[in-house]
Amino acid sequence: AESVLISQQSHGELCKVLAVNKAAAAHEQKVIVVSVSPQSRASLAARCKLGLLETAQRLTQFLKSLGVHYVFDTTFSRNFSLLESQREFVRRFHRQAEDKKALPMLASACPGWICYAEKTHGSFIIPHISTTKSPQQVMGSLVKGYFAEQQHLPPDRIYHVTVMPCYDKKLEASRPDFFNQEYQTRDVDCVITTGEVLKLLEQEGVSLSDVDPAPLDTMLSGAAEELSSHHGGGSGGFLEHIFTHAAKELFGIHVGSIHYKPLKNKDFQEVTLERDGEVLLQFALAYGFRNIQNLVQKLKRGKCPYDYVEVMACPSGCLNGGGQIKLEGESSKEELQQVERLYESLRAEIPEENQAVRELYEHWLGGWGSQRAQEMLHTQYHAVEKTNSALNIKW
Ligand code: SF4
């Protein structure tokens, strides 16, 4: 089933949709939206030897030349994922006395990890996983919800494609939880990897450096036209944002820079908040399957000391995802360092200070913590019975 899904959600599928759309009568045409992840943009920039802004502008032009109408950046939707995760952590922290599974809270943005957790440790792990949607799926809600309303279109008249650093994002987009029953449409219709964007360029005989730059699209008029990122590394910065927010909100402590303490390896690190020798918060990041297994064992033995863990399936996180472009002539370490340098070269924004995000919370979602915000920005998980044959997990 997974291989069928991957062929349905591929650059080949996107090409078919674009061709059908061009030939369709005007009233039947769909609005085609592509949302590009910042990890994919960094990988493309490294490959094409371009700056990030140039890459974004030229990619916008290239996609539009194929028939795409709007190109967005999932850094925007990540603001919502970060803010909701911060608030969810604080709520769980207050709940921990009466709910033993409120903490540790485990990150939810990596579908490789979620899939593994549901299939192998189901009902034991699920209550620990943050209910906040990943940036890809928040983008799905924004595009098929807010943007569709702005365009005066039903959600099924928009075809929404994302460009992501891994194949597992295709599985995430096809979860029944992200399917709109009323309109029979997915929040994200098609996911293509960074490598598939390169294939598209090659197929068209185009080199990104030869494409003219186009202005960037923004979902809200008046939103900044420059690129920005978030603090906290190439997997989204969840640990850092939640840690800083919780330190301030729960203990009135302003955290300046975050000190990571490597444990067994660089993919398992700890961050601790202390006051007068007392540990107030203990966070960790666990990347890669071995570290995840180790974490799960700790949890099962009741020996997990953490309040929050940023769990990611790929060693080194999302910049090293399986869908990223391999650089010619570079060792994988140099390649990753190059992509990381580019990724970190942008101004880091503070989600709380983003005016467009505030506006959407206020006017579209009906305020922080509203029922609509819960529906649009949160999801749920499902334990897979051990007897199910889908237990074959590939890593
Ligand atoms: Fe995808 Fe890997 Fe990032 Fe998980 S860690 S979301 S599998 S790129």
User: If you write DSSP's letter for every residue of 108-150 in order, what string do you get?
Assistant: -S-HHHHHHHHHHSHHHHGGGB--BPPHHHHHHHIIIIIIHHH
**Which residue, 385, 289, 360, is CA-closest to 143?**
360
Looking at per-residue pLDDT, the higher value among 1 and 250 belongs to: 250
Query: Which residues in 115-151 are b (16+ Cβ under 10 Å) and which e?
Result: bbbbbbbbeebbebbbbbbbbbbbbbbbbbbbbbeee
Q: Are 222 and 195 in contact (CB under 8 A)?
A: no
pLDDT 10s digits, 261-291: 999 889 999 999 999 999 999 999 999 999 9
Whether 313 is in the pocket of ligand 1, judged by its Cβ within 6 Å, is yes
**Which residue, 269, 190, 227, is CA-closest to 78?**
227
Q: 346: CA distance to ligand 1 center in Å?
A: 21
pLDDT score of 122 more than 90 = no
Structure tokens at 29: 């045409």
Whether 234 is in the pocket of ligand 1, judged by its Cβ within 6 Å, is no
The whole-model pTM stands at 0.95
Q: Are 38 and 229 in contact (CB under 8 A)?
A: yes
Structure tokens at 134: 């990943």
Q: State whether the Cα torsion 58-60-63-64 is positive or negative.
A: negative
Whether 312 is in the pocket of ligand 1, judged by its Cβ within 6 Å, is yes
192 forms beta bridges with: 163
Which ipTM score applies to this complex? Answer: 0.99
Q: 320: CA distance to ligand 1 center in Å?
A: 8
Q: What is the mean pLDDT of residues 337-365?
A: 95
pLDDT 10s digits, 43-81: 999 999 999 999 999 999 999 999 999 999 999 999 999
**Which residue, 34, 15, 12, is CA-closest to 214?**
34
Atom of ligand 1 nearest to the CA of 317: 5
